[in-house]
Amino acid sequence: MRRVYRIAAVILICLAIGLILYYRYKTAQTPAWFDWRAFVTSLRNINKPVLALAFVTIYATYLVRSLRWQQYVRPIAETRLVNLLVATVIGFTSLFLLGRAGEVVRPLLIARKEKLSMASMMGVWLLERIQDLLSILLWMGLGLTLGRVTAASDSSGTVMLARTRQAGWLALAAVVAATGLLALWRFRSASMSGWLDRKLRFLPHRWHRKISDTLQSFGEGLQSVEHTGKLVLTVGYSIFLWLLISGTYYIVCQSFGGNLARITFAGILLLVAIAMLGSTVQIPGVGGGVQAATFIALTAIFGISVELAASATILIWLLTFAAVSLVGIPLMIREGLSLGQLRAMARARAELSEPPAGTSSRERP
């Protein structure tokens, strides 16, 4: 069923891109709606010294992720930063090679390297995902409400920007509400998870069990950050992390010059948020959703030509998703890990989370 949903999502994304290209073709003065020569020229004329800085910022994100994870688990055990960094780089390489199935490789490797509980590491991973989401919403909300975002001159770009500005206020409201809920969960996790568990017993056992296990893991991950001060520090790391990622997008656009370089940093924050929404659809080794969302935002909101938008989209994807494999694959070889082993690890974890066949929710302990 997941494969059906993934194929349907990819088809919808392709249709969206096709509609945009068709609209550009119908409204263009000439029938040549995509100029391959302009596409190649835009890549050749990139400011390479500026682009090199993007490699520094994107690789710095893996260090920040490792430092954040070290703070997550410090109340449990003292960890070696180098082990966390290696597991992080290999984990994101697995995400690039395997798609969403590779997400669990990083907590699995950290648990194995540092001899920690797999359940607690999955809980930390869930906490990390939530902090990342809140950081994206925070930057998006601030960028749209306080920053200056310039849309395309046509009416469609202005209308889309007006709607996204409303989304900016909703994003800030979501951050405030979610932060309050996390603070409450921090001190009442047992009672709140128990209450939700009882309320969700009407669901089929498979879904009920999966939600219950997720809530339990998240509670363990949140409780692992024993001191509130350390939790605040991890929030700071999360905000800085997404500032670095947004900086990478900004540097790439600056390296092209022209209309891309005119996109303000507030506009970049919006672009990153849209790209991350697209990242929920990912094909192993290809991506898919990120490229489509980035391309659509650049052309429909910011009015960038399809050739320049295609060039920037490809380069952003290579930097933020594929570049990690330049270091990650050699690290995999050094650690004695093959792609088949990583796939088996991800599959084993998925099978472990599945309840036994023929059980009901009343049989759960």
DSSP bridge pairs for 283: 287
The angle, 0 to 180 degrees and rounded to 10, between the axes of the packed helices 118-145 and 105-114 is 130
b/e burial code for range 114-142 (CB count within 10 A of at least 16 → b)? bebebebbbbbbbbbebbbebbbbbbbbb
Residue 174 φ/ψ region, left for φ over 0, alpha for ψ in the -120 to 50 degree band, beta for the rest:
alpha
Alpha carbon distance 355, 225 (integer Å): 29
What is the rounded average pLDDT of the residues 212-223?
62
For 88, how many CA atoms within 13 A lie in the half-sphere containing its CB?
A: 20
pTM of the model: 0.74
- What residues does each domain of the chain span? 2-22+50-76+117-323
Task: Give the span between the Cα atoms of 101 and 2, in whole angstroms.
Answer: 11
Q: How confident is residue 30, by pLDDT bands cut at 50, 70 and 90?
A: very low
Q: What is the pLDDT of residue 88?
A: 95
Closest CA to 275 of 13, 6, 12: 13
Determine how many CB atoms are found less than 10 A away from the CB of residue 265: 17
Q: Is the pLDDT of residue 29 over 50?
A: no
Compute the CA torsion angle 62, 330, 95, 65 (nearest 10 deg): -10
By mean pLDDT, which of 7-21, 121-135, 318-332, 346-360 is the weakest?
346-360
> What distance in Å separates the CA atoms of residue 116 and residue 150, rounded to the nearest whole number?
48
Question: What number is the average pLDDT over the span 188-214?
Answer: 68
DSSP 336: T
Secondary structure in 3-state letters for 260-309: HHCCCHHHHHHHHHHHHHHCCCEECCCEEHHHHHHHHHHHHHCCCCHHHH
Per cent of the chain over pLDDT 90 is 22
Tell me how far apart the 2 most distant CA atoms of the chain are, in Å.
68
| Whether the predicted pLDDT of 240 surpasses 90 | yes
pLDDT at 183: 64
Q: What is the DSSP string of 127-172?
A: HHHHHHHHHHHHHHHHHHHTS-----SSHHHHHHHHHHHHHHHHHH
